Amino acid sequence: MTTSAAVPTGSEGAITSDGTVTDRLVEANQQYATAFTDPGMDARPVLHVAVVACMDARLDLHAALGLELGDCHTIRNAGGVVTDDVIRSLTISQRALGTRSVVLIHHTGCGLESLTEDFRHELEMEVGQRPAWAVESFRDVDQDVRQSMQRVRTSPFLLHTDNVRGFVFDVHTGLLREIDPA
């Protein structure tokens, strides 16, 4: 597994320790670009699948699912929640770019398990404006996956809702556990 501590360094184009994190990322991109070759792909995923997952930095989806560049669309947010914006992305993925399957991946130890909707109230008190979005916190990860599956299956905008499967990724073992939608 590659971590930020394992970013390649060398005398030419070395990643410097000064500057901002963004500066470090831009420098890493410059190194990446020196060996980059256009893979000649279009935006249509080879496997016709869209994966919706949590943004948690511990989830290396491509490695965990054996995916290669170009295999899938990946949509990530806090909790892997199927929000209106996720439905928007899935709709474009299906209707314009040919995906047919949806895989939902939540995980153990999610930060949303420790938040409540009070988070929105606290933000309102701090900044003077209540967020328009819901926190979508939860206590039962399995039930949250079921809710996400139901949101995808009942969306009128999606063409393909018959192959929607949900999983919980265990951050300690790396294993997926499939959730029964019932």
At 34, the amino acid letter reads T
Q: What pTM does this model have?
A: 0.86
pLDDT category at 1 given cuts 50, 70, 90 is very low
For residues 152 and 90, is the Cβ–Cβ distance under 8 A? yes
**Own/partner long-range contacts of 172-175 (Cβ < 8 Å, ≥24 apart):** 172/108, 174/64
Q: Compute the Cα dihedral for 86, 88, 92, 98 and give only its sign.
A: positive
Residue 56 annotated as binding site: yes
pLDDT, one tens digit per residue, over 102-125 is: 999 999 999 999 999 899 999 999
For residues 103 and 51, is the Cβ–Cβ distance under 8 A? yes
Q: Which CATH number is associated with domain 41-179?
A: 3.40.1050.10
Residue 110 annotated as binding site: yes
Q: Across the strands, what pairs with 168?
A: 106, 177
Over residues 7-12, mean pLDDT: 50
Residue 72 annotated as binding site: no
For residues 84 and 52, is the Cβ–Cβ distance under 8 A? no
